[in-house]
């Protein structure tokens, strides 16, 4: 029997019970729509996080005090005897494969000028931070090149902070007070947006030694190292580890985090979330499959006489089995296609209503959703099809 004839025959049988067929296909459609929606949200979130991290470039390496075995916030588990110092940062300056070294301290402080003030994050860094973090300056210049242990009453403002306290006038050359001490504004950064919830534009940058005074710190919160290339990262990590371990009298009491590692960890976390979400969506698909199974079972029972006739006309057992398998695959496949369209449509509506929503459907996921519905059809049609093909033709003809 030709496949096209088979398909037409089966389609005819399905459209003979329009409402019933539509309802059971709808069961699968809902499942597939759920799968498409949820996996698209997962994929969108993953891409969002990847883009958040890669805005710093993938060659950035972070060193924080304290040893953290698993992914988490470095340093909170304390207990380290050796902290990271400006001398540690200095010792990394001329290692091979390293382009820039930025010692970092940060904390919150109040920035005031002309009666207006804001509590914002203050980053103590060096001249190289702008290049290492890929934060360009919009007006004026970034902090000047100077020894990291020198204090200077200079600052660079984030665009939002500048706007809020200078009300649209240029802050260049004006004075602000940060935590009570006076600073001269030498530059304003370009807008950078948010980084996992922190508003990078609502902050100020001052020389690291001044920031250590301001926050009363003797150690750094972090040292950022920019590798010459992504390929140089493993070598740089090794170099940094051996130099710092030597400086810390043989203690490996710091944590080196590379962007690729962070992305890996996030990728794995996202994979788990995606799998969990897919499992939930898969349950609704299972419900759809049971619907198809039920309808196909009823259909085989109703069409017993027809099955007997087809056998009398020379259709083989296998032919009967194929007929019912294709029928349920077609039913589920149509449901799958409908579900995919509904999922994409709902996604489009959602993203139009909530522009911030991370929603990305990968072509692979779309194809997989429809393929999965076909599989669901074949699986749930298998049992009824076996029953149909197992019927004794004489017995079957007697039904009616």
Partner 1 sequence: MILLEEVWRTFQVGEAEVGALKGISLAIRRGDHVALVGPSGSGKSTLLHILGCLDRPTRGRYLFEERDTGSLSELERSALRQSRIGFVFQFFHLLSRLTAAGNVELPMMFAGVAPEERRTRAQEALRSVGLAHRAKHRPDQLSGGERQRVAIARAVVMGPSLLLADEPTGNLDRASSREVMELLERMNADGLTLVVVTHDPDIARRARRVIRLSDGTMEEEAP
Question: Which parts of this chain interact with partner 1 (CB under 8 A)?
Answer: 1-2, 5, 9, 12-13, 16, 305-306, 308-317, 319, 393-394, 397, 400
Can you give the length of the chain in residues?
400
Report the nearest approach of partner 1 to the CB of residue 321 (Å).
12
Measured from the CB atom, the residue of 155 and 320 that comes closer to partner 1 is: 320
Map residue 59 onto helix, strand or coil.
coil
C-beta of residue 345 within 8 angstroms of C-beta of residue 359: no
Q: Which of 236, 239, 334, 231 is nearest to 292 (CA)?
A: 334
- Closest distance between partner 1 and the C-beta of residue 10, in Å? 12
Question: H-helix or E-strand containing 255?
Answer: strand 254-258
CB nearer partner 1, residue 19 or residue 352: 19
Give the C-alpha separation, 75 to 63, whole Å.
11
Residue nearer to partner 1 on the CB measure, 130 or 328: 328
Least distance from C-beta 389 to partner 1, angstroms? 11
Of 379, 291, 382, the C-alpha closest to 339 is 291
8 A C-beta contact, residue 28 and residue 376: yes
In whole angstroms, how close is the CB of 339 to partner 1 at the nearest point? 27
Which of 5/145 has CB closer to partner 1? Answer: 5
Report the alpha-carbon distance of residue 217 to residue 105 in Å, rounded: 8
Radius of gyration of the chain (CA): 33
Min dist. Cβ of residue 313 to partner 1 (A): 5
Residue 131 or 315: which CB sits closer to partner 1? Answer: 315
- Token pair recorded at residue 43: 């994929």
Select 118 or 317, whichever has its Cβ closest to partner 1.
Answer: 317
Nearer to partner 1, 127 or 317 (CB): 317
Cα–Cα distance for residue pair 192/363, rounded to 1 Å? 31
Torsion angle in degrees (nearest 10) through CA of 33, 39, 41, 46: -170
Minimum distance from residue 396 beta carbon to partner 1 (Å): 10
Closest distance of CB 304 from partner 1, Å = 12
Token digits for 222? Answer: 């972090």
Q: Which of 388, 375, 363 is nearest to 286 (CA)?
A: 375
């Amino acid at each position: 029997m030709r496949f096209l004839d088979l398909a037409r025959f089966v389609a005819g049988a399905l459209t003979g019970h329009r409402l019933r067929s539509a309802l059971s296909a709808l069961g699968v459609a809902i499942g597939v729509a759920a799968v498409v929606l949820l996996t698209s949200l997962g994929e969108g979130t993953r891409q969002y996080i990847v883009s958040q991290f890669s805005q710093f470039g993938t060659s950035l390496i972070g060193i924080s005090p304290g040893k953290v075995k698993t992914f988490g916030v470095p340093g909170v588990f304390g207990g380290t005897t050796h902290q990271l110092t400006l001398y540690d940062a200095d010792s990394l300056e001329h290692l091979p494969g390293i382009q820039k070294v930025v010692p970092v301290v940060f904390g919150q402080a109040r920035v005031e000028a002309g009666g207006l003030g804001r509590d914002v994050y203050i980053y103590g860094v060096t001249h190289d931070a702008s290049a290492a973090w890929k934060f360009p300056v919009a007006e004026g210049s970034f902090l000047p090149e100077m020894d990291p242990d020198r204090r200077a009453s200079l600052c660079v403002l984030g665009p939002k902070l500048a706007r809020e306290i200078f009300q649209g006038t240029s802050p260049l050359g004006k004075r602000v007070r940060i935590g009570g001490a006076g600073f001269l504004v030498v530059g304003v950064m370009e807008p950078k947006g948010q980084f996992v919830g922190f508003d990078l534009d609502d902050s100020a940058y001052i020389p690291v030694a001044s920031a250590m005074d301001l926050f009363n710190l003797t150690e750094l919160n972090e040292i950022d190292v920019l590798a010459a290339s992504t390929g140089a990262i493993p070598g740089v990590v090794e170099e940094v580890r051996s130099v710092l371990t030597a400086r810390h009298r043989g203690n490996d009491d710091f944590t080196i985090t590379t962007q690729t590692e962070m992305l890996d960890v996030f990728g794995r976390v996202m994979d788990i979330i995606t799998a969990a979400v897919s499992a939930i969506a898969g349950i609704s698909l299972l419900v759809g499959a049971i619907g198809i199974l039920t309808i196909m079972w009823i259909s085989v029972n109703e069409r017993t006489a027809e099955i007997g006739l087809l056998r009398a006309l020379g259709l083989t057992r296998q032919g009967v089995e194929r007929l019912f398998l294709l029928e349920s695959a077609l039913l589920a496949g149509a449901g799958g296609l409908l579900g995919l369209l509904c999922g994409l449509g709902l996604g489009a509506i959602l993203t139009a209503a909530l522009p911030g929503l991370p929603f990305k459907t990968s072509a692979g996921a779309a194809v997989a959703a429809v393929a999965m519905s076909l599989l669901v059809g074949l699986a749930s049609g298998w049992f009824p099809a076996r029953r149909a093909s197992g019927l004794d033709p004489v017995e079957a003809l007697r039904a009616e």
